[in-house]
Amino acid sequence: MEFTQQNANTNTIISIDDSSVSLSHVKLKNPCFISASLSKEISSLDINEIGKELLFPLIIKDSVDILIIGTGNAPKFLSPKQQMELSNMGLGVECMNNTSACSSFNLLLGDLRKVGLLLI
């Protein structure tokens, strides 16, 4: 899927497919993490592995306060324990399919929100 919103100063998502995401300057394989100034591929990741230990080194660089998790073609959700752990870190978290996650990320990034995107 192609996106039309582009901003060369940020990690705006240009397009996605089943296994990768294209930013304005780089193409990343899934799983990956993207924020305003960081884009990084992550080793194999399952939704059950998402927690403080994985996210802290990623979100600290941009002071992310909203995390969008793209879970593939269909939405999957964090366990209540995972939600509490991320909430205690000061993160608002939303899980959705990858297309919706990328669209939401671009919208919030364009509004200069402190947003991170984790595609698994």
Share above pLDDT 90 across residues of the chain, in percent, rounded to a whole number? 85
Q: How confident is the model at residue 7 (pLDDT cuts 50, 70, 90)?
A: low
Query: pLDDT value at position 24?
Result: 86
For residue 28, give its domain range.
Answer: 13-119
The answer to whether residue 9 scores a pLDDT higher than 60 is no
The answer to the question of residue 5 being in a domain is no
**Domain of residue 79, CATH code:** 3.40.1230.10
Q: Which residues contact 109 (CB under 8 A, 6 or more apart)?
A: 7, 10, 11, 12, 36, 115
Cα–Cα–Cα angle for 48, 52, 57, rounded to 5 degrees: 120
- Alpha carbon of 46 to those of 19, 91, 98: distances in Å? 14, 19, 14
The answer to the question of residue 2 being in a domain is no
What does the pLDDT average to over 39-56?
93
Contact 100, 27 (CB under 8 A): no
- Output 30 or 6, whichever has higher pLDDT: 30
Contact 24, 11 (CB under 8 A): yes
- Count of domains for the chain: 1
The answer to the question of residue 88 being in a domain is yes
How many angstroms separate the CA atoms of 75 and 45, rounded? Answer: 15
Q: Which residues of 55-65 are buried (b: 16+ CB within 10 A; e: fewer)?
A: beebbeebebe
Phi and psi at 104, nearest 5°, equal -65, -40
| Per-residue pLDDT reduced to its tens digit, 59-111 | 988 899 999 999 999 999 999 999 999 999 999 999 999 999 999 999 999 99
Q: What is the pTM of this model?
A: 0.91
